[in-house]
Chain A
Amino acid sequence: VFKRFVEIGRVAFISFGPHAGKLVAIVDVIDQNRALVDGPCSGVRRQAMPFKCMQLTDFVLKFPHSARQKCVRLAWEKENINAKWSATRWAKKIEAREKKAKMTDFDRYKVMKAKRMRNRIIKHEMKKLQKLASKKGKKPGKPVKKAPKGKKPEKAPKAKKPEKAPAPKAQKAQK
């Protein structure tokens, strides 16, 4: 049922407070509500922090309890937590949300155009397959129509902001 536990070395993400958005490692447990926490590679000083503002991640480091900051830093860098974190979907979603909030009016227009073009392409292909299927459906043996949909790249809508701009432009140029 529970997969992530509070333990020494668990890397946690701080969701609110002055250090919101940073990663820390749990160094020791103080009492039921607080932990001694340290984030040498993310700019968080060693301090007590309530569990409520921490959200546990999948990463666990190996160091003994109450280890000093140097040890925590070594373990952190050995595991290369920063790189692993930015590769997770969690971090990517956060980044996408931030980008979306920072979109200017012009960007919103570009995204709208890109989305529209993408949807047109998808719809076009769908219609083609549906036509095929309806034709073949009259004959015995229905072929699978769902497969080609996987062809369309499943990109997160916000990472599209810089990427889709060249993609639809290429299509526009072709037109």
Chain B
Amino acid sequence: MAGEKAPEKKPAEKKPAKKKAGEKKPAEQKPSQKAAGDKKKRVKKYHASRNPVLARGIGRYSRSAMYARKALYKRKYTAPETKIEKKKKEMPRATIIKPVGGDKNGGSRVVKIRKMPRYYPTEDVPRKLLSHGKKPFCEHKRRLRASITPGTVLILLTGRHRGKRVVFLKQLDTGLLLVTGPLAVNRVPLRRAHQKFVIATSTKVDLTGVKIPKHLTDSYFKKKRLRKPKHQEGEIFDTEKEKYELTEQRKVDQKAVDSQILARIKKVPQLRGYLRSTFSLSNGVYPHKLVF
């Protein structure tokens, strides 16, 4: 404590008192300069201990009595205000002034930014125990089977395009696979597929030098849901968009990707027909015995 520094220089014990007094003096002011700088710096003369010793380690007066005897009530010092403390003093804005619209248009009112809670639960929630290793979905580790590489022909097993053979492009951030028919070959557009519901064949299309646009991410493919429940209970389910509308953006992207891939597909004989066909099982065909 900076405030206590000066009186603490005066120690409680007799012996070190004299020593320290002797040491302090040369540090603060030289005795030769005493006469000259008398007015500016008052020489600090240290008083002996005001607490007589009864036995070793035990003084006559208590802590509070000593406070009074040393007149510490008169001597309270604080450290100069640092930059951090100055910054802390800047209080954040508590209220904001907003214009009034609607019925009482024109004027303005003062609105609190941080409002008081409107509900206090009767029981407090118990503190949760610490856990480790429980990551949210966005931090999960994404894996990809070694058999799936860019250009692999995959067989989709679920969804409206089940059984279709499709070209794999890349894995997206959520772990889903970006896949395309190509559209001209089997009517599968740029689409996401789940790794688990896909069979990877050993047939690969050479996709070296194929550039896939950077804006094809998960948010591009995510289904849009409108959030405007302004109406009553009965009408909520009607506005959920069931119809998928094809946008120009999708057409452009599809063309950009497919033109590159179709060129490469044409080079391999019979590959186009292969991609057009669908996969199916028949009698005597067992998936565990098939080599894909």
Of the residues B270, B289, B291, contact of A104 by C-beta under 8 Å: B291
CA distance A82 to B290 in the complex (A): 31
CB of A110 within 8 A of CB of B270, answer yes
CB of B274 within 8 A of CB of A104, answer no
CB of A105 within 8 A of CB of B279, answer yes
CB of B269 within 8 A of CB of A109, answer no
> How many chain B residues have a CB neighbour from A under 8 Å?
17
Q: Which residues of A contact B165 (CB under 8 A)?
A: 105
The yes or no answer to A113 lying at the interface (CB within 8 A) is yes
Beta-carbon nearest neighbor of B285 in chain A: A108
CA distance A104 to B155 in the complex (A): 13
Beta-carbon nearest neighbor of B271 in chain A: A106
CB of B273 within 8 A of CB of A104, answer no
Q: Which residues of B contact A165 (CB under 8 A)?
A: 269-270
CB distance from B162 to the nearest CB of A (A): 15
Q: Which residues of A contact B202 (CB under 8 A)?
A: 104-106
Interface string of B72-107 (1 = CB under 8 A from A): 000000000000000000000000000000000000
Beta-carbon nearest neighbor of A109 in chain B: B274
Known: A101-B291, A105-B201. A169 touches B273 (CB 8 A): no
> How many chain A residues have a CB neighbour from B under 8 Å?
11
The yes or no answer to B153 lying at the interface (CB within 8 A) is yes
Beta-carbon nearest neighbor of B274 in chain A: A109
CA distance A169 to B268 in the complex (A): 12
The yes or no answer to A103 lying at the interface (CB within 8 A) is yes
The yes or no answer to A102 lying at the interface (CB within 8 A) is yes
Residues facing B in A82-110 (CB within 8 A) are: 101-106, 109-110
A-B contacts, 10 of them at CB < 8 A, read A101-B289, A104-B201, A104-B202, A105-B155, A105-B165, A105-B279, A106-B271, A109-B277, A110-B274, A113-B270
Binding site for B on A (CB under 8 A): 101-106, 109-110, 113, 165, 169
Given contacts A104-B202, A106-B153, A113-B273, 15 further A-B contacts (CB under 8 A): A101-B291, A102-B291, A104-B203, A104-B291, A105-B155, A105-B165, A105-B290, A106-B201, A106-B202, A106-B271, A106-B274, A109-B274, A113-B270, A169-B269, A169-B270
